[in-house]
Amino acid sequence: MISEFPLFCFTTLAGLAAGAYVVAAVFLVGKESKRAWLFPLVCLVLLGVGLLGLPMHLGRPERLLTALTHPTAMIAQEAYWSMAFGVVLLIDLVILKTKGSVPRALRAVGAVFALGLMCVMGNAYFVSLAVSAWASWPTFPLFVLGDLAMGAAGVAVLAHVMKERGAKPAEVDGDAADIATLQFSKQGAFLNTEMVLAVLAAVAFVAEAVHFDGTGLNAMPFVVAAIIAVAGAISVLAGREDKLSESVTVWLTFACLFVAVVVARYTFYAAYAL
């Protein structure tokens, strides 16, 4: 196991939550299902479990409290942005559970915090002196595009599960988007976006592979991650063209993109031990 495993868990799980929330803020605003509160709850759980990686990385929980007194420390900034994002998720959850719909402004604010968290995660390694290979521009797309790609796939899975369980949407503001009724049509903007994000994530992995190879580090796992991400994009395309069922499409796409991010990010952290 790599020494940076706690941070690997943090950036992967919290990144999944952040990426999903940004995508949801764009596509899933307006009409809400009776179980729409499951979305912020899942994101909150992912963020909470991921955050356990910060004190684990420092060895003792009290060290994190000390780190929080130094706002310029990157681990403190990650914690601050995570807490801000977590507060929005909690408010989102409470409002959806009690009122059934959430204000657009809240989702917009949450998306800003989520995007900020993803950028701060990337910047923590971009400015790091621990590994020279980390201090390069491919670090940012590796984190941000990877999070958005697997986040979009996660949103599709949750939407599908909610629809399969018969969640009934309630009309609010007359909007057409709904977390339980994403349209897997041939012209669906969501599917097109999901596919583009998967391809962009693959490009980010290739860029990181080129950089790692230039520094003499093992770049092959990044190439493997890129191939898996492309497989995820192909899965979306096959679903859009009715070659695969909706169920197979959403689960296969999520599996591909999550595994691709895990492989790429694990390889990224493994450089610390070299």
Exposure class string for 235-258: b at 16+ Cβ within 10 A, else e: bbbbbbeeebebeebbbbbbbbbb
107 in any annotated domain: yes
176 in any annotated domain: no
Domain span at residue 126 reads: 4-166+184-273
| % of the chain residues with pLDDT over 70 | 84
What pLDDT does residue 16 have?
A: 98
Q: Tell whether pTM > 0.75.
A: yes
Dist CA 102 CA 117 (whole Å): 22
Asked if 151 contacts 26 with a C-beta cutoff of 8 angstroms, the reply is no
What pLDDT does residue 169 have?
A: 43
CATH code for the domain of 86: 1.20.1630.10
Dist CA 187 CA 262 (whole Å): 30
Dist CA 17 CA 247 (whole Å): 21
pLDDT digits (tens, 9 = 90+) for 214-250: 999 999 999 999 999 999 999 999 998 889 998 999 9
Asked if 7 contacts 53 with a C-beta cutoff of 8 angstroms, the reply is yes
Calculate the average pLDDT of the chain: 86
| Number of structural domains the chain divides into | 1
Max Cα–Cα distance, the chain, nearest Å: 57
Residue 66 contacts by C-beta under 8 Å, 6 or more apart in sequence? none
Q: Which residue positions in the chain have pLDDT lower than 50?
A: 29-31, 167-181, 183-187
pLDDT digits (tens, 9 = 90+) for 43-87: 999 999 999 887 776 666 666 667 667 777 878 899 999 999 999
